[in-house]
Amino acid sequence: MRAFGGRHFIVALLATLLNANPAHAQSVAEFYRGRTMPMVIGFSSGSGYDIYARLLARFMPKYIPGNPTIISQNMPGAGSLRAAQYVAQVAPKDGSVIGTMSRSLPVEPLIGDGKFDGRAFTWIGNIANNNSLCATWHTAEVKTWNDITSKPFVLGGEGPGSDLDNFALVLKNMFGAKLKLVSGYPGGSEVNLAMERRELDGRCGWSWDSIKSTKPDWLRDRKINLLAVFGLEKAADVPPEVPLILDKARTDEERKILRVHLAAQAFGRPFFAAPGIPEDRKKALREAFDATMKDADFIAETAKVRMEVSPTTGQEIERILNEIYASPPDVIEKAKRLIKG
């Protein structure tokens, strides 16, 4: 009788625990069915990140079990740190909220002042690996790479840890560019507007696909000067006269330091969920993302807006982050000093 009673006690206890935390008793489809999921976008409306996120929000739900609705919510600020903190610290850690952040933000704790670990986020995937460029307005005195050390210019930034700030500081501190960085803009769209109004001479951290998709007229009409490409490789359609920043390194040590900053370019347009979401939902979101990247309608829509699709899986983002975080301490320290204003 005691054994029988003990068995019933265990069954009752398990039932109580499951009822106390019903999320774990639900299937993935049951959890997502009828749900509205926020897509938290760490950038302004109309930016390259925003365009990608809104396209993903349209097409990804049909591949998530239960077919939830995804709604876009812009939350710009501090180079997308505001959005990342919201998803990590405020949003439920159940896989019901996803977001997108700056590609450089996951490694910012290594080379900046971030108090989080970029490996802790639940990485879903990246839509495109893109080059970032530094560019100036056509009226600026600085028009080519050869001008950056001889003529003063003013670049706009979003905040510490953003590509706009970090790459501008690389130009200044490694290559001696005579630039002033004015940081604190909500997003790239506001920086572009300030450049057009001639409040700024230019900007860095501007992805090549975003330039092509959002400002094709600026390229066509030569409204901007392209100074340098930040990436491990240069996209085939970037004008040949625009140098790859790695090729400007003067020593092997400079190349190693630059690689710490440039490795994040492989993240392109990263999407993530809060740390510690249930494994079955992480798996479902990653599989849904991967399926969306192969969806013919999604690919056709990205082509219409001149956006590239060259995805990276969530697992690969994890691998790259683990590799970067394992870099030698002396290289990390020098990379960190490089982006101090």
Domain boundaries along the sequence of the chain: 9-129+266-338, 132-264
- In sequence order, the 6+-apart residues with CB closer than 8 A to the CB of 336 are 110, 111, 112
Strands 153-156 and 179-182, bridge-based pairing: parallel
Residue 44 phi/psi, 5° resolution? Answer: -70, 160
CATH number 3.40.50.300 given to 132-264: no
CATH architecture for residues 9-129+266-338: 3-Layer(aba) Sandwich (3.40)
pLDDT at position 10 is 33
Give residue 129's pLDDT.
83
Same fold? 9-129+266-338, 132-264:
yes
pLDDT score, position 168:
98
pTM of the model: 0.73
pLDDT, residue 19, reads 41
| Per-residue pLDDT, 8 | 42
Distance of alpha carbon 134 from alpha carbon 282, whole angstroms: 36
The token pair at 281 is 């939902």
Using CA atoms, how far apart are residues 179 and 150, in angstroms rounded to an integer?
Answer: 10
Successive 10-residue mean pLDDT values, the chain, 341 residues: 38 35 74 98 92 97 98 93 95 98 87 84 93 96 98 94 91 98 92 97 93 93 98 90 97 92 87 98 98 98 90 93 90 92 69
Structural contact between residues 339 and 165, judged by C-beta atoms closer than 8 angstroms = yes
Query: What confidence score (pLDDT) does residue 306 get?
Result: 83
Residue 24 confidence (pLDDT): 53
pLDDT at 181: 98
